[in-house]
Chains A and B, each alone.
Chain A
Amino acid sequence: NAGVTQTPKFQVLKTGQSMTLQCAQDMNHNSMYWYRQDPGMGLRLIYYSASEGTTDKGEVPNGYNVSRLNKREFSLRLESAAPSQTSVYFCASMQGQGNYEQYFGPGTRLTVT
């Protein structure tokens, strides 16, 4: 079991460029999440998908879109990157249905210049 995988591990973008962060889990989990982590700010929820076919905004959704492609995959898209989106992005998954333990991917370190 690979658990939760994320690609890419590192990315540098110029302001205005777009990119998609990929996330996949092989634990048959129902729920998936995208977070960003900035120094001193802790983990902040961007979007989540409680189950396949649903997505909802979290605390900081502006500038991002998501797609729950299937039960395994949940992608995060930056349409027009801004320096304020420089951060470390984590994907996580959770079984749900009474089991709320989250498992995190290794993260993507994104720099927007």
Chain B
Amino acid sequence: QKEVEQNSGPLSVPEGAIASLNCTYSDRGSQSFFWYRQYSGKSPELIMSIYSNGDKEDGRFTAQLNKASQYVSLLIRDSQPSDSATYLCAVMGSYIPTFGRGTSLIVHP
């Protein structure tokens, strides 16, 4: 059984701070990793994908991947109240994704 683990939170950060969200996975053969944002009552929205070890930056978002440690993280710089949502980590096997249960992020003014 492939597993993806995330701290459920909530993670509370002040506006303007860096939010750090973490995810570990069990399948060492996994090659594709994704972060989705889900607002309450809405569907998941893809915000980052990462395939290689290291960092990938897109605007205020940075995804970090360490395959040796089986660890993926998402950093959100200059956090805004509009970033308050649940963040889902997903790991793709052969056409079959496994999602973590998500981390709730609260950005307070």
Contacts and interface: CB of A to CB of B under 8 A. Distances in A.
Interface of A: 31, 33, 40-43, 45, 48, 50, 58, 90, 94, 96, 100-107
B88 A106 contact: no
Contacts of B34: 100-102
Contacts of A105: 43
Contact of B43 (A31, A100, A101, A106): A106
Interface string B1-39: 000000000000000000000000000000010100000
Contacts of B95: 31, 48, 50, 94, 96, 100
Interface of B: 32, 34, 42-46, 49, 88, 90, 92, 95-97, 99-102
Chain A at the B interface: SS class: strand
Contacts of A48: 95-96
A101 B97 contact: no
A113 to B, nearest CB: 21
Nearest to A50: B95
Contact of B44 (A58, A94, A104): A104
B49 A101 contact: yes
Contacts of A102: 34, 46, 90, 97
B39 to A, nearest CB: 12
Contacts of B32: 100
Contacts of B49: 100-101
A104 B99 contact: no
12 contacts: A31-B95, A43-B44, A45-B96, A48-B96, A50-B95, A94-B95, A100-B32, A100-B97, A102-B34, A102-B90, A105-B43, A106-B43
Nearest to A4: B43
A1 B69 CA distance: 39
A104 B90 contact: no
B99 A43 contact: yes
B88 A43 contact: yes
Contacts of A104: 43-45
Given A33-B97, A102-B90, A105-B43, 15 more contacts: A31-B95, A40-B101, A41-B101, A42-B101, A43-B44, A43-B99, A45-B97, A48-B95, A50-B95, A90-B43, A100-B49, A100-B97, A101-B34, A104-B45, A107-B43
